[in-house]
Structure 1
Amino acid sequence: MFAVIVNAVTSSLGALLGFFLKRGIPERFTKAIFGVISLCVAIMGIQGAVQSQNLLLVLASMVIGTLVGTLIGIEDGMNRFGEFLKKRMGRGDDSRFVRGFVTLSIMQVIGAMAIIGPVQAALGSNDLLYFKSALDFTSSFIFGTLYGLGVVPVGIVLFLYQGFFYLLATFVMPLMTPDVVRELNAVGSVMILGIALNMFQLTKLKVADFLPALFIPIIYYHLIV
């Protein structure tokens, strides 16, 4: 659990540092860095998606997962939670508070790394989560300079999400076969690409509603095939 806590703390710490240091960083630099990060996120998404060996499964996972997520209203729920935090922290009508919270939350919790990392940590290997902590610290710092305190509570989301998989590691680990990991990573990478498109302001995809798609490869390889 220590590595899960480290990941959550570094995420919030990066956001706090970004918030307090943003006045010393000219806006043109933060925008330039944000553009580079957006580009790298897009490349990450494409690189992971093309590793799939079953594109039909990826498509089916995205369609089914999106239908379930839209029915549940995951992104709307996250928005409501963000609005609640905004009011509690006295941020008034700052719409960037919610946008930053939702975007960074999705960016840091989706994908195989956020699932496999806690599972590996439960089995004694913290390396993957420590690597993810460094990535999350960097992205949180940039988002903190751009969106303010709205991204600080993302550490809470990380702790709850990854802590869940850590506690269920004994049940999840037997299911994480190479096929499941590969296709789960491809599905998560499609979501990462969706985030990049939103970061470029080319689309307004409700990427949080895609999250149930991550469970479809597990169901497919263990209950269908």
Structure 2
Amino acid sequence: MIGTIVNASAILAGSVIGSVVKKGIKEEYQDALYTAMGLAATVLGINNVVNNLPDSKYPVLFILSLAIGGLIGTILNLEGRFQNLVGKFSKSNLGQGLSTGILLYCIGSLSILGPIQSALNSDNTYLFTNATLDFVTSIVLSSTYGIGMALAAVVLFLWQGSIYLCAGALSHFISPELMREVSIVGGVLIGSSGLSILKIKDCRTLNMLPSLLVPIIWFAVRGFLFR
């Protein structure tokens, strides 16, 4: 699991560096960073959707995923529970930053396929590449939201660690088609985080997280019925 450890460590290191930099940044400059982070998340989300939607074999699946997942998340009040939990430890917008960071770190081909490559082929190329990208991202995020962004490293470690341990079973299930559909939904969620940061629309992105499970369930059921 050396690749996952390096990836999580990169986020921790970036969070420390960014939080140190934050202390010397004026409030007006911090506002500029918020805007930059919001624009970046929005563009990254749109890019994910644009790159994957044209090749989707189920172009309506992401709509159903967002509708079903958003409804389930709202019923469970995931956003409210998460914000209340984070609010006990921080009065800043840390919850918003963490939700954005977790999506950026965990939802992507490198972060999902990387642990599988590492477990089955002892190849950490994907994870080392992901670590480099996450290092830069974590510096920007923590310079905006503070050292609390380091908590995202724990989530990433658990996420990639679980995939690593289940790599044998997942390698046959995670197909390019599934990755494409998850990337589309993930792109929409990342973009919605950007809109929330820019204060254009509070999309309550965390309530939509169950949407990521809908394509997985769809492909699992489809595989079972048509095997």
Q: TM-score normalised to the size of structure 1? A: 0.84
> Where in structure 2 are the equivalents of 1:28-107 lying within 5 Å?
31-50=31-50, 51-52=52-53, 53=56, 54-84=58-88, 86=89, 94-107=91-104
Root-mean-square deviation over aligned CA pairs:
2.3
Alignment check: 8 A CA contact 1:79 1:102 kept: no
Residues 150-189 of structure 1 deviation map (CA, whole Å, 9 limit, x = unaligned): 2122211111122112211112111112211111111111
Residues 51-104 of structure 1 deviation map (CA, whole Å, 9 limit, x = unaligned): 2222201111111222222333333343344235x2xxxx5xx23344333332
Q: How many residues end up aligned between the 2 structures?
A: 218
How big is the shift at 1:30?
5.1
- Partner residue, 1:186: 184
> Where in structure 2 are the equivalents of 1:159-174 lying within 5 Å?
159-174=157-172
Percent of aligned positions with the same letter in both sequences?
Answer: 31
- Partner residue, 2:20: 20
Match of 2:138 among 122, 140, 150: 140
Q: Secondary structure at the match of 1:130?
A: helix
Report the CA distance shift for 1:95/1:2 in structure 2 as closer, same or farther (over 3 A).
Answer: same
* Structure 2 unaligned regions, length at least 5: none
Match of 2:123 among 90, 105, 125: 125
Q: In terms of mean alpha carbon deviation, does 171-180 or 24-33 score higher?
A: 24-33
* Structure 1 unaligned regions, length at least 5: none
Alignment check: 8 A CA contact 1:82 1:102 kept: no
How big is the shift at 1:213?
1.9
Alignment check: 8 A CA contact 2:18 2:147 kept: no
2-structure distance, mates of 1:111, 1:66: 20
Alignment check: 8 A CA contact 1:175 1:218 kept: no
Q: Secondary structure at the match of 1:153?
A: helix
Report the CA distance shift for 1:203/1:111 in structure 2 as closer, same or farther (over 3 A).
Answer: farther
Q: In terms of mean alpha carbon deviation, does 33-42 or 11-20 score higher?
A: 33-42
Which one-letter code corresponds to 1:10 in the other structure? Answer: A
How big is the shift at 1:7?
1.2
Residues 35-63 of structure 1 deviation map (CA, whole Å, 9 limit, x = unaligned): 34433332221122132222201111111
Alignment check: 8 A CA contact 1:18 1:144 kept: yes
Which one-letter code corresponds to 1:115 in the other structure? Answer: I
- Partner residue, 1:220: 218
Match of 1:114 among 107, 111, 115: 111
Q: TM-score normalised to the size of structure 2? A: 0.83
Q: In terms of mean alpha carbon deviation, does 28-37 or 53-62 score higher?
A: 28-37
Deviation beyond 6 Å, 4+ runs, structure 1 = none
Which one-letter code corresponds to 1:102 in the other structure? Answer: S
Report the CA distance shift for 1:102/1:222 in structure 2 as closer, same or farther (over 3 A).
Answer: closer
